[in-house]
Amino acid sequence: MFTLTTRSITFLSINNPQVRLKAIETIFAPDAVWFDSDGSAHHGHDGVLAHSTIVMNQQDGTVHSPAEDIKVCQNMATSRWKVVPEGTEGNPGQAPSQLGGNVIVVEGAKIKVLWSYLDNFQPPLRPNMNRSLLRLRLTAIHLTKPAVASILRPSTFAPCLQPITRTATFADEPPTKHLGGSAIDDSLADGDARGRTGGGDGLESSQNAPRPPKVDSGALPQGKDKGLTKEQQEEVDQHNKEFEATREAASAAPEQDKVSKDFWSSNDGKSVKK
């Protein structure tokens, strides 16, 4: 078990692919699976060989060597490994470029499952991981292509990207549709009562409605340029003149609405002599 675990690390330092294949066939079962730290899975001797070639090309000039003691529990073992420049394996002061570990499951004196992991992932040393993740993303997009296509179709969200302006919003719609905060068409608000209340004309305003209030001159723009044209100023002055003339002139009350002085000056209808 100890030798098998050690060789699961050092086979990545065999440069000759033919010699490495022999080592793989010796330590791995024919149906072995290698789960590497980049998230990929490789099956059988050929799969392990192909992926080991990629790993070694990415880490050219380095070697894998054991970093700590191996721990064994029944048919499983854990080991730590490090990646150091080639020729510095025996130098304890050499800082490793990578630290990681293996977990192996042994069956019939050969490795059935190998799981490799990294303590700290370093993209420059393992650029293939990015490509593997990209393939996974593209696969997921392909599997959900109809849904994604419908979401990304420009016509789906193009209306949301159109600029909203006052002209575009109100040009073709009655303004009363927007005053109440509702998009429901209310023809009553537009003054059309027919068909809603049994027919007939709408109510007319009272003939005795109060006059508009006097225009507050203090609220008008002051200074040299008041902001009013000559016609507008004349209209304001005429309105104020009419308002002042009629403000105190109340019409006489109808006869039936007058207070009976005789009644209020009598006692049970009898005159009270003073």
Nearest to 61 by CA among 87, 91, 85: 85
Q: How would DSSP label each residue in 199-251?
A: S-PPPPPPTTPPPPPPP-GGGS--SS--S--HHHHHHHHHHHHHHHHHHS-PP
Evaluate whether 75 touches 105 at the Cβ level (below 8 Å).
yes
pLDDT at 151: 45
pLDDT at 245: 75
Buried b (16+ CB within 10 A) or exposed e, 1-33: eeebbbbbbbbbbbeeeeebbebbeebbbeebb
pLDDT by 10s per residue, the chain, length 274: 778 778 787 888 888 889 989 989 988 999 999 999 888 999 999 999 999 888 888 877 888 878 877 888 888 988 888 888 887 777 777 788 888 888 999 988 899 999 988 887 555 444 454 555 555 555 555 554 454 444 445 444 444 444 444 444 444 445 444 444 444 445 444 444 444 444 555 555 555 556 666 666 555 555 555 667 888 888 888 888 888 777 665 555 556 556 666 666 666 555 555 4
Q: How far apart are CA 254 and CA 245, in angstroms?
A: 22
Nearest to 237 by CA among 223, 249, 220: 220
Q: Provide the whole-model pTM.
A: 0.42
pLDDT at 203: 55
pLDDT at 113: 93
What backbone phi and psi angles, to 5 degrees, belong to 150? -70, -35
Q: How far apart are CA 112 and CA 110, in angstroms?
A: 6
What number of other Cβ atoms are within 10 A of residue 102's Cβ? 22
Provide CATH code, domain 2-122: 3.10.450.50
Domain boundaries, the chain: 2-122, 127-158
